[in-house]
């Protein structure tokens, strides 16, 4: 795609403002950095110890929707990615987290919906990896992708040193949508499935029932087509680097079976199932409503097993 091919990394800008903070007696520094592309600037935060040499750095890629670099969306403050960053820093692991194009500080880099492709996010991730690799202060670059960010990071990880998937889908998005549609009334399936089949073939559909506009509106179809072509099982099988697959057993959006599919596709990968962890990295006891009630509740801590699994994997390789 022209937009994907034309993406260029023009420069790394480190802002003059530096925030020094303390975290469990560890002094760290946050620097604002900018990835400049032909279609706009993408902004991120590089967090490191105040003094360091040759340490690992992890690029954290957010999930779908208007999620910012910290893991927050409008009206719901979760800060899960910021918490992960803070925890990794305690073990001497730097992080880079960023606002996706069109989100938060990177809003101006957003494209018209009809012009946005999945490859744009992949190339942005590759741009950040290349930038970090040029920084000789870092010993290796690890990609951590959550949810939709798992697949984005998976494809970009061909140029990284290690890859970690958290709650990553194990099938193409069209198969996932079909599973979700299977619980809908027959008349909904009758009008939705032919549209989905057309998108799988790479063909857009002009006439979409307004009832399905949120999923299949014409302006989002090019993005769907570009997303469908990436099969997580195929992409993870290409990786020759150390791979860690993390999955919670109480995730309402991604299943343990998804994680197992990824593990089978890359037999050398490490698979860790975290008992009772949901999609937002919290431990849940109770029904689906109790699960949903944890979303955006910063008073519920992220499970320590998640951050320990990530830290152990990075430090042992």
Lookup: tokens for 169: 């889908």
Lookup: tokens for 154: 């998976």
* Residue 22 confidence (pLDDT): 43
- To the question of domain 2-171+231-312 being in CATH 3.40.50.1820, the answer is yes
* Residue 209 confidence (pLDDT): 94
* Residue 146 confidence (pLDDT): 98
Q: Considering the entire predicted model, what is its pTM?
A: 0.90
Residue range(s) of every CATH 3.40.50.1820 domain in the chain:
2-171+231-312
pLDDT tens per residue across all 317 residues of the chain: 333 323 332 233 333 234 444 444 458 899 999 999 999 999 999 999 998 999 999 999 999 989 999 999 998 898 999 999 999 999 999 999 999 999 999 999 999 999 999 999 999 999 999 999 999 999 999 999 999 999 999 999 999 999 999 999 999 999 999 999 999 999 999 999 999 999 999 999 999 999 999 999 999 999 999 999 999 999 999 999 999 999 999 999 999 999 999 999 999 999 999 999 999 999 999 899 989 988 988 889 999 999 999 999 999 98
Query: CB neighbours of 317 closer than 8 A, spacing ≥ 6?
Result: 162, 242
DSSP track, 121-158: HHHHHHHHHHHHHH-TTEEEEEEEEETHHHHHHHHHGG
């Amino acid at each position: 795609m022209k937009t994907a091919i034309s993406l260029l990394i023009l420069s790394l800008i480190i802002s003059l403002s530096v925030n020094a903070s303390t975290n469990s007696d560890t002094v760290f520094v946050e620097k604002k950095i900018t990835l400049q592309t032909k279609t706009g600037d993408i902004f991120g935060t590089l967090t490191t110890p105040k003094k360091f040499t040759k340490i690992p750095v992890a690029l954290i890629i957010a999930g779908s929707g208007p999620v910012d670099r910290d893991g927050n969306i409008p009206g719901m403050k979760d800060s899960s990615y910021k918490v992960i960053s803070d925890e990794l820093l305690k073990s001497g692991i730097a992080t880079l987290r960023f606002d996706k194009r069109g989100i938060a500080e990177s809003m101006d880099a957003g494209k018209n919906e009809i012009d946005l492709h999945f490859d744009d996010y992949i190339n942005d991730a590759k741009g950040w990896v290349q930038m970090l690799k040029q920084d000789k202060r870092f010993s290796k670059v690890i990609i951590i992708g959550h949810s939709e960010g798992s697949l984005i990071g998976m494809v970009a990880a061909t140029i990284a040193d290690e890859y970690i998937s958290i709650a990553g889908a194990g099938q193409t998005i069209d198969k996932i949508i079909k599973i979700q549609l299977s619980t809908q009334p027959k008349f909904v399936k009758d009008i939705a499935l032919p549209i989905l089949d057309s998108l799988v073939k790479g063909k857009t559909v002009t006439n979409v029932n307004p009832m399905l506009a949120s999923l299949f509106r014409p302006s989002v179809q090019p993005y769907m087509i570009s997303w469908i072509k990436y099969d997580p099982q195929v992409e993870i099988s290409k990786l020759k680097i150390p791979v860690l697959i993390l999955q919670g057993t109480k995730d309402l959006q991604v299943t343990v079976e998804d994680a197992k599919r990824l593990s089978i596709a890359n037999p050398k990968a490490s698979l860790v199932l975290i008992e009772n962890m949901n999609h937002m990295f919290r431990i849940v006891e109770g029904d689906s409503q109790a699960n949903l009630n944890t979303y955006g509740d910063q008073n519920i801590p992220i499970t320590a097993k998640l951050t320990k699994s990530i830290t152990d994997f990075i430090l042992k390789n």
